[in-house]
Every structure is written in structure tokens, then in C-alpha cells.
Amino acid sequence: MKQQIIIPLEEFPEEGIELSGELDGSIFGIDCEDVRRIGPVEYRLEAQLYDTELVVRGEVSAPFRLRCMRCLGEIDYTVEIEEVSYAIDVKGKMSADVTDEVREDILLELPGYPKCELIGAECEINDKFGDFRLDKDPQPGVNCATPSGNSVWDALDQYPGK
Ligand SMILES: [Zn+2]
């Protein structure tokens, strides 16, 4: 599967270029217990060239499996952005790559504190852990790892009651 969105600039048609397709989800470089990609990035974009500026607009989406921060259940959540917009200086370039722009936009849309409510579901309290973890928020954001390299959940796994 494609890993880049490349827009050719040679003989760019006046009416613009339409691009659509799928990108390999591995472009995100994330795959941990709390955030997993479960499908390709889908995109539908339109590119217009204005002198040396390429303007790209369109919609992108990508499905993820997230860990609910409250009950530790898994929820499938698709990031959908209906209107992305990029302006890229392409002076002297033969092609433009908007992969990074798309990746960053999608990552920014990932919920920082995923909960089952996100998809209209209710948390199932897992008795195994006890409900002391309810609404525990050890760190904001979907952090795969702490700066020390340990998952935020590693510390919790050492809880003696487990
Ligand atoms: Zn939940």
C-alpha cells in the first residue's frame, strides 16, 4: 500500500488535480497497547496550483483502536476530518509530498483522553482491577510511553492487588 501522497507538479492541469486513495497506516509510527491503527488512511483531495503555491484541500480519515482510559476496554474510533487545507510553497519543485501534513492533522485529532462515551458506549467496569481506577488520569494525552520509556500503564500493572 502507498506510504506517501505525492502530487506531481509537472504539466499541472489548470483545472487542478484530484487525488484519492489509501495510505498505509504505518505512516503514523504508532502501535502500542493504548493506540493501534486498524486500517488504512483514506483520503480525497483536490490540488490547485497558484503560481508557486500549491493549495490542497479535501477530507481524510483513519481508523484506530484506542484503550478507554477509564475502564481499559478497547474502542474503535475513526478520525474523520472533513476539511483539511494545506498551502505549500513548491517553487522549483517537481512534486509535492503532503504525507506529513495529513499524518499530523490526523494525530492531532486523536482524543487525548479516550473513553467509551466517545463512540456512544458505556464503560464496562472490570472487576479484576477494582473500580479504584475510575477516572484515574495519570497523564493527559495518548502517550504510548513516558519520557523514561515506560508505558504509563506499566506502573499500574505493578499494583499488588492484581
Ligand atoms: Zn470505558
Distance (Å) from CA 124 to ligand 1 centroid? 6
With bands split at pLDDT 50, 70 and 90, how would you rate the model's confidence at 159?
very low
Whose grid coordinates read 477530507? 59
Whole-number pLDDT of residue 135: 53
What is the DSSP annotation of 14-36? TT-EEEEEEE-GGGG---SSSEE
Give the C-alpha separation, 154 to 151, whole Å.
5
Cα 37 to ligand 1 centroid, rounded to whole Å: 18
Element containing residue 50 per DSSP (H, E) = strand 41-50
User: What is this structure's pTM?
Assistant: 0.74
Distance CA 125, CA 116 (A): 11
> Which has more confidence, 160 or 83?
83
CA of 123 to the centre of ligand 1 (A): 3
Ligand 1 centroid distance, CA of 59 (Å): 29
Kindly tell me if the per-residue pLDDT of 21 is higher than 50: yes
Q: Considering the chain, what percentage of its residues have pLDDT values greater than 90?
A: 66
Q: Is the pLDDT of residue 64 over 90?
A: yes
Task: List the chain domain ranges.
Answer: 6-157
CA 72 to chain centre: 19
Residue among 80, 72, 86, 89 nearest 133 (CA): 72
pLDDT band for position 30 (cuts 50, 70, 90): confident
Q: What is the pLDDT of residues 124-149, one digit of tens each?
A: 876 655 555 555 555 444 555 444 44
Q: How close is the Cα of 156 to the center of ligand 1, in Å?
A: 17
Cβ 103 vs Cβ 2: under 8 Å: no
Cα of 68 to ligand 1 centre, how many Å? 5
Query: If 0-12 CB within 10 Å is exposed, 13-18 middle and 19+ buried, where does residue 66 land?
Result: buried
Grid cell at residue 21: 486513495
For residue 103, the one-letter residue type is R
Question: How confident is the model at residue 140, as a pLDDT?
Answer: 47
Ligand 1 centroid distance, CA of 120 (Å): 10
Closest CA to 69 of 127, 139, 157, 119: 139
Reported as a pLDDT band with limits 50, 70 and 90, residue 34 is: confident
Question: What's residue 28's pLDDT?
Answer: 86
Q: What is the percentage of the chain residues whose pLDDT exceeds 70? A: 76
Strands 35-37 and 6-8, bridge-based pairing: unpaired
pLDDT of residue 146: 44
